[in-house]
């Protein structure tokens, strides 16, 4: 569970003798942590220990779900606010019998004995915590109680929380940093368009389209991409430099904005896609990208970035053309030395050594624009304008 940083039973695992034995052994190993004072060092879902301690009395309601997965619980709580017609449609979609007429014990109608919203929520919680993992938990439970004594746990007044602490150990939450993000995710660079800068697909690194740092790049789980010379690669490089310079609280906000939670996954288990989907059809559209904010799809861990570097190049080219038409010497070293700082940023550097200096200026300006736009997005955009926000 990403939102709580804990592990849960694999509900999609096909049932087999080998799988049952593996879960039995997992339960036995959990029990061995108690007498040997050897915590596992991994965090398991609180619901797992609630089921072990409470046994048949375990109640898979909203409170258990809130400890298990706060994000899923928030989605379930939205059901309680649905209109009656939407509730009936949802019940029908979930396969529950509906009867909007006379309420009764077996009715899922709005006037049902327990109320349709609450029953839908309870049914969903029971499915997630009990029904979908029935054989897996059954095997794990047998293994656990083969090596642990319920009488001893009762004597020690050990509840689910204390049992979890004894089995799993400390669960200190480490600060999130830029390098930690790169190490945790398989980073994908997506959306490179060859035709935009006159490159044929066969001339583009990796054949165009995307680049993955899966070992063919500089490092596993992070680093930069072998797409040298591409404007998107410059923006991606600037992204990592920005994140590396941010404090942990701001990096955590970036992670929540992009993935829906501020907790990192286990290394290499999830992908983080940096996408450039905004195809500019002309110089005017490229310049307009400077005013766009980054967007995110939390369901697929996708960060969509405008190509700020190409936008800056177009803006600089327009400035040079306008200066030439007006007969003004654009960006000479002497002019820039006497110009205000803001004007120097906007005009860049030309003349002797100007190409290299201009490129450095564009890159620095790209990083500045990206940092400003991204910070605004992650601070003000999470839960407000994100593409996957369901509250709008």
Active site amino acids: 299
Hunting for tokens 């501020």 — which residue is that? 262
Cα–Cα nearest to 378, from 296, 277, 268: 296
Radius of gyration of the chain (CA): 28
Task: Please check whether residue 232 is in contact with residue 279, taking contact to mean a CB–CB distance below 8 angstroms.
Answer: no
Q: Coil, helix or strand for 33? A: coil
Instruction: Return the biggest CA–CA distance within the chain.
Output: 93
Phi, psi dihedral angles at 298 (to 5 degrees): -70, -25
The Cα-based distances of 318 to 283, 314, 343, 357 in angstroms read: 9, 6, 15, 18
Lookup: tokens for 333: 């070293």
Q: Coil, helix or strand for 270? A: strand
Residue 57 CB contacts under 8 Å (≥ 6 apart), including other chains: none
Calculate the dihedral angle through the C-alpha atoms of 138, 144, 145, 146, rounding to the nearest 10 degrees. Answer: 100
Hunting for tokens 């500045």 — which residue is that? 368
Q: Name the strands in the sheet holding 209-212, side by side, starting at the edge strand that comes first in the sequence.
A: 209-212, 185-192, 270-275, 302-304, 295-297
Hunting for tokens 């490089």 — which residue is that? 237
């Amino acid at each position: 569970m990403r939102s709580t940083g804990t592990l849960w039973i694999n509900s999609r695992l096909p049932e087999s003798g080998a799988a049952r034995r593996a879960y039995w052994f997992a339960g036995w190993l959990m029990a061995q942590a108690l007498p040997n004072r050897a915590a596992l060092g991994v965090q398991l879902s609180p619901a797992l220990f609630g089921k072990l301690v409470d046994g048949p009395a375990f109640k898979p309601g909203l409170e258990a779900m809130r400890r298990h997965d706060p994000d899923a619980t928030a989605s379930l709580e939205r059901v309680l606010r649905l209109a009656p017609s939407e509730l009936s449609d949802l019940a029908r979609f979930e396969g529950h019998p509906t009867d909007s007429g006379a309420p009764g014990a077996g009715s899922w109608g709005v006037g049902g004995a327990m109320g349709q919203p609450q029953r839908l929520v309870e049914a969903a919680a029971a499915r997630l915590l009990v029904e979908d993992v029935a054989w897996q938990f059954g095997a794990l439970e047998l293994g656990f109680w083969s090596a642990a004594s319920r009488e001893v746990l009762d004597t020690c007044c050990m509840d689910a929380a204390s049992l979890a602490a004894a089995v799993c150990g400390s669960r200190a939450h480490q600060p999130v940093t830029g390098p930690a993000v790169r190490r945790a995710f398989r980073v994908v660079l997506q959306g490179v368009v060859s035709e935009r800068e006159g490159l044929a697909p066969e001339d583009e690194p990796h054949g165009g389209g995307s680049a993955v740092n899966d070992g063919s790049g500089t490092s596993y789980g992070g680093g930069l991409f072998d797409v040298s010379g591409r404007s998107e690669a410059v923006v991606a490089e600037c992204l990592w430099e920005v994140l590396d310079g941010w404090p942990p609280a701001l990096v955590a906000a970036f992670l929540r904005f992009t993935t829906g939670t501020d907790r990192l996954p286990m290394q290499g288990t999830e992908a983080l896609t940096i996408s450039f989907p905004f195809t500019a059809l002309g110089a005017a559209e490229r310049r307009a990208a400077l005013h766009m904010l980054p967007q995110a799809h939390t369901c697929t861990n996708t960060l969509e970035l405008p190509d700020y570097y190409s936008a800056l190049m177009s803006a600089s080219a327009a400035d040079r053309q306008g200066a030439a038409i007006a007969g003004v010497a654009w960006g000479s070293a002497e002019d820039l030395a006497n110009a205000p700082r803001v004007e120097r940023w906007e005009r860049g550097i030309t003349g002797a050594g100007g190409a290299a200096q201009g490129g450095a200026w564009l890159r620095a300006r790209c990083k500045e624009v990206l940092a400003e736009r991204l910070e605004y997005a992650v601070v003000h955009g999470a839960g407000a304008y994100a593409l996957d926000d369901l509250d709008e």
